[in-house]
């Protein structure tokens, strides 16, 4: 029973309008009427064409490429909603950009994940709903509630249906030591064993594979990561599983398909049988040319999370 008496409004920027439309369709509501565009000099403008006074408003906007434009769109939309007396504003960010810079790795580094958190709060966001943050401690960078949904139940459901009883000869693999806890949780849900690809990264967006920890010989492997950017780490890890570990085949999945630079070409030429991605980041036109990439939708999970936040009930069941 809804007790607060507010109506619900869902708006979107230009980052992922299809996902926002899918969420609205599942919730049986219409997308809020707004225009988000640019002036001739590139400045972003936002016009809201319906009242939001006292409403519970959700702004669906991934901060994917072009990252800075999408982030500014989100903040300007939040500011417009705040000044139009919205009752509560939730930034729905299926993909949270700048999350990789979450600590000072060397002297004089910025911590941009914290900077973005400050900017969103200052703009007027009352809470954040996101999925698979690159580092879960980023939730602590905010002084407002943050719900960090897990994408792995979608993959668990997909692979359980895809392979069924054939799971006995399968193994989940973490592409690096940093992703072990994420991969372990995924492996436990699928009742599979876990292996690790140990790699040494020499510089940003490049890596050198060193070793495979665990026996993957003759196994069908599922590489599990939170994001695929240039695809170097994933493709090198897959090749190591075949060359060093003598795996039978390699499937891969990741929550966020950033797919920048040579990523699509690398995946097309790799030994990966299929790469499953969530639609937190919309597919580019170039993805259509790669038949190895498959997208699974997060719309049902976000629709249920938004519905539960609106009704002021627990969303903890979505984490299980």
Q: What's the maximum distance between 2 C-alpha atoms anywhere in the chain?
A: 61
pLDDT at 202: 59
- Residue 241, domain extent: 152-296
3 lies in some domain: no
Residues 156 and 142 in one domain: no
283 lies in some domain: yes
Instruction: State pLDDT tens for residues 109-154.
Output: 999 999 999 999 999 999 999 999 999 899 999 999 999 999 999 9
Residues 140 and 178 in one domain: no
Contact 95, 125 (CB under 8 A): no
Catalytic machinery residues? 199
In terms of DSSP bridges, do strands 56-60 and 8-12 run parallel, antiparallel, or are they unpaired?
parallel
Cα–Cα distance, 210 to 198 (Å, whole number): 6
Residues 134 and 266 in one domain: no
1 lies in some domain: no
Residues 254 and 222 in one domain: yes
Residues 157 and 290 in one domain: yes
Residues 132 and 208 in one domain: no
Residues 142 and 209 in one domain: no
Residues 196 and 68 in one domain: no
245 lies in some domain: yes
- pTM for the predicted model, two decimal places: 0.93
Mean pLDDT taken over the chain: 92
91 lies in some domain: yes
Residues 121 and 206 in one domain: no
1, pLDDT greater than 80: no
In terms of DSSP bridges, do strands 44-48 and 34-38 run parallel, antiparallel, or are they unpaired?
antiparallel
286, pLDDT greater than 90: no
Report the CATH number at residue 136.
Answer: 3.40.50.2020
Tally of structural domains, the chain = 2
- CA 103, 119, 33, 86 dihedral sign is positive
140 lies in some domain: yes
Strand order in the sheet with 249-257: 206-213, 193-203, 170-174, 220-228, 249-257, 272-278, 293-296
Residues 136 and 163 in one domain: no
Cα–Cα distance, 283 to 62 (Å, whole number): 13
Contact 129, 306 (CB under 8 A): yes
15: phi then psi, degrees, rounded to nearest 5: -70, -50
Residues 20 and 79 in one domain: yes
2 lies in some domain: no
Length of the chain: 320
198 lies in some domain: yes
Residues 283 and 234 in one domain: yes
């Amino acid at each position: 029973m809804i007790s607060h008496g507010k109506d619900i409004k869902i708006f979107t920027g230009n980052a992922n309008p299809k996902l926002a439309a899918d969420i609205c369709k599942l919730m049986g509501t219409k997308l809020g009427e707004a225009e988000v565009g640019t002036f001739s000099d590139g400045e972003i403008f936002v016009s809201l064409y319906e009242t939001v006074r006292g409403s519970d408003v959700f702004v669906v906007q991934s901060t994917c490429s072009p990252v800075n434009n999408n982030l500014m769109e989100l903040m300007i939309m939040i500011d417009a909603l705040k000044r139009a007396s919205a009752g509560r504003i939730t930034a729905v960010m299926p993909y949270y950009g700048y999350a990789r810079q979450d600590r000072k790795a060397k002297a004089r580094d910025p911590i941009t994940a914290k900077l973005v958190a400050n900017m969103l709060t200052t703009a007027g966001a009352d809470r954040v709903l996101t999925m698979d943050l690159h580092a879960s401690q980023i939730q602590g960078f905010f002084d407002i509630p943050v719900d960090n949904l897990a994408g792995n139940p979608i993959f668990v459901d997909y692979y359980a249906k895809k392979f069924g009883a054939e799971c006995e000869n399968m193994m989940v693999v973490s592409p690096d030591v940093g992703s072990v806890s994420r991969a372990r949780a995924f492996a436990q849900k699928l009742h599979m064993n876990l292996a690790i690809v140990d790699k040494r990264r020499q510089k940003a967006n490049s890596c050198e594979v060193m070793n495979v920890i665990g026996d993957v010989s003759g196994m069908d492997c599922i590489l599990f990561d939170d994001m695929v950017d240039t695809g170097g780490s994933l493709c090198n890890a897959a090749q190591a599983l075949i060359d060093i570990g003598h795996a039978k085949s390699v499937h891969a999945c990741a929550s966020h398909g950033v797919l920048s630079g040579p990523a699509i070409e690398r995946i097309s030429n790799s030994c990966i049988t299929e790469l499953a991605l969530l639609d937190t980041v919309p597919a580019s036109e170039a993805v259509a040319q790669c038949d190895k990439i498959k997208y699974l939708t997060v719309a049902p999970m976000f629709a249920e999370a938004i519905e539960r936040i609106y009704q002021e009930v627990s969303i903890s069941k979505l984490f299980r």
